Amino acid sequence: MKNTPFTQFHIELKAKMVPFAGYNMPVEYTGITEEHMIVREKLGVFDVSHMGEFWVMGPEALGFLQGITSNDVSSLWNGKVQYSCFPNGKGGIVDDLLVYKFSDEKFLLVVNAANIEKDWNWCVSNAPKYGIKPGKDLINDSDNTAQLAIQGPLALKAMQKLTQTTVTDMEYYTFKVIEFAGLKEVLFATTGYTGSGGCEIYVKNEDASKLWKAVFEAGEEFGIKPVGLGARDTLRLEMGYCLYGNDINDETSPIEAGLGWITKFTDNKKFIDKDLLLKQKANGTTRRLKGFVMIDRGIPRQHYEVVDASGKNIGEVTSGTMSPVLKQGIGMAYLSKGYWKTDSEIFIRIRNKDLKARVVELPFYKKG
């Protein structure tokens, strides 16, 4: 099992450590609900060094990414980030990812920790047809990169103390390469998967310790706390964001998953599964990923059966939790056609009881 460059700090802080995607990771420090609310109200720090980073470079980089990702990479400008996915050639999803554009010939892909090897092999297997050479134009830098996500409404204000470059006015899904905490060429991004604003900071492994100490020192006056994977999951679920392995996988299409907005059928883009997904968009699908809230008291969990009033199976829960903000059970599920309309009544089968729930528009959590 791998450690991240920050593992020593998690252990010193007495975090509950668990194996995750081959890494020794903190699931919680003082409690998931408390950590969740820190991010909603102030600012919290996540170790996300387990994520994967691939560089794609050279004159064929754009053509390669246009072919293997679903979103339109040609719409990016330098300093812009894009959410996308790798279609798998069978209507499913290899992984969801972020695409960072540095220039027309330099991009960074950030992929899920559990899928680093799978994604790398996918990129390598597709590289030759686009004239991309692994090791030269395609580089896996995952093991050399440390990353902290500082999330919450006070995150950018606190981090501004560590740089001369203005970061408090950065738009969502943009990035800058800046001097930060005395470190040169730090990648500073504002993507976030919590819905509470904030930033991600990428450094070399050897600079991780300096970064951690500087971030916590800068955030001390604002009430900064470390946050584990448990709250990361409840935060993203309150926003209705998909988690690979739960809500999307090799068997789910981006159209079924409500990710049509990252699936661009533009004339200048011929990508894997384009024709198949275009048919799904035109003809519809038999199931869709929808959000729901519990009306009866109960906490939905992954794989719980969804039924109608007569007990007939109409779907399956992919993610579920008790929302720390709403104080209500919330979840996402693939539902059969006919049950997608907002306010539709559905039932979640929990311990052999059919508990009433209601289909809702995402996100569950709305600021303000």
DSSP 300-351: --TT-EEE-TT--EEEEEEEEEEETTTTEEEEEEEEETTS-STT-EEEEEET
Can you give the three-state secondary structure of 90-130, one letter per residue?
A: CCCEEEEEEEEEEECCEEEEEECHHHHHHHHHHHHHHCHHH
What mean pLDDT do residues 351-361 have?
Answer: 97
CATH code of 357's domain: 2.40.30.110
Q: What residues have CB less than 8 Å from 160, skipping those under 6 apart?
A: 166, 167, 168
Picking from 229, 255, 284, the residue at the C-terminal end of a domain is 284
Looking at the structure, tell me whether residues 337 and 190 fall in a common domain: no
* Tens digits of residue pLDDT in 63-78: 999 999 999 999 999 9
* Tens digits of residue pLDDT in 119-129: 999 999 999 99
pLDDT tier at 218 (50, 70, 90 boundaries)? very high
Looking at the structure, tell me whether residues 255 and 362 fall in a common domain: no
What mean pLDDT do residues 345-356 have?
Answer: 97
Looking at the structure, tell me whether residues 24 and 140 fall in a common domain: yes
Quote the pLDDT of residue 59.
Answer: 98
Picking from 284, 302, 326, the residue at the C-terminal end of a domain is 284
Quote the pLDDT of residue 367.
Answer: 79
* Tens digits of residue pLDDT in 285-304: 999 999 999 999 999 999 99
What mean pLDDT do residues 142-147 have?
Answer: 97
Q: What residues have CB less than 8 Å from 218, skipping those under 6 apart?
A: 158, 159, 161, 162, 181, 224
* Tens digits of residue pLDDT in 10-59: 999 999 999 999 999 999 999 999 999 999 999 999 999 999 999 999 99
Q: Which domain holds residue 337?
A: 286-368
Q: How many domains does the chain have?
A: 2
Looking at the structure, tell me whether residues 39 and 19 fall in a common domain: yes
Looking at the structure, tell me whether residues 24 and 167 fall in a common domain: yes
pLDDT tier at 191 (50, 70, 90 boundaries)? very high
What mean pLDDT do residues 228-246 have?
Answer: 98
For residue 368, pLDDT over 70 is answered with no
Mean of pLDDT over the chain: 97
Q: What residues have CB less than 8 Å from 190, skipping those under 6 apart?
A: 156, 167, 170, 171, 172, 173, 174, 175, 197, 198, 199, 200
Looking at the structure, tell me whether residues 245 and 345 fall in a common domain: no
CATH code of 244's domain: 3.30.1360.120
What mean pLDDT do residues 239-265 have?
Answer: 98
Q: Compute how many other C-beta atoms are within 10 angstroms of the C-beta atom of residue 362.
A: 18
Looking at the structure, tell me whether residues 312 and 356 fall in a common domain: yes
Quote the pLDDT of residue 203.
Answer: 98
